[in-house]
Structure formats: C-alpha cells, structure tokens
Amino acid sequence: MSVKILSVTLLLLSLCVCFSSSAGMRGPTRKRPCCVDVTNLDMSPEVVGETYREQASSHPCVKAIIFNTEYGQLCSDPKAQWVQDRKLC
C-alpha cells in the first residue's frame, strides 16, 4: 500500500470515529411528562386558562385530557362529565 492511500484511509477512519462519538455526546431528548393516572373528581375550579391538551394512550401513559392549574398539570378522565363540559366552552 502506498503512503498516500494509507494516509487517506486513516483520515477517513478518524473522521468516522469523530462523528460517531460526537453524536453520542448529545444529551437525551426531553420527553414531555405523561399522565399515568387520571382523576374523575370535578376539578374545574382549579383549572386556569381555556386551553387543554389531549393525551393518547401509549404505555405507560393513559388516555387523558390535561388541563393547567396554578399547581401544575391536571390529568383528567376524558369521559368525566365535567371534562366534557369544560371542553365545550
């Protein structure tokens, strides 16, 4: 093997190693926390704002309607009557 071919091969190999190691240095992506349990209690007085988010069921997450409260997120049962009423407003 000539020195030129050996040099190019080593250069390409070192570039591959650099790119693969830098890809592994990226931190884990932040996943949005999910609801693993819901409440049926009427918590409508605690809800702030008019927006909500629907969460699909995907283990370990359960199907939920997520409202914001001044204390954080509220995971509520999509079948609860107060949730249905709140969604219509």
Number of structural domains found in the chain: 1
What's the CA gap between 20 and 7, in Å, rounded?
20
DSSP calls for 13-45: HHHHHHHHHHHHHSPPPPPPP--SS-B-S--GG
Predicted local confidence at residue 53, as pLDDT: 95
Q: What is the CATH number of the domain that holds 71?
A: 2.40.50.40
- pLDDT tens, 30-85? 677 899 999 999 999 999 999 999 999 999 999 999 999 999 999 999 999 999 99
Q: Which domain holds residue 62?
A: 3-88
Region 5-26: what's the mean pLDDT?
57
**Helix, coil or strand: residue 67:** strand
Distance CA 62, CA 78 (A): 10
Distance linking the first and last C-alpha atoms of the chain? 76
Query: Where is pLDDT greater, at 30 or 11?
Result: 30
SS3 8: helix
Overall pTM > 0.85: no
pLDDT for the residue 30: 66
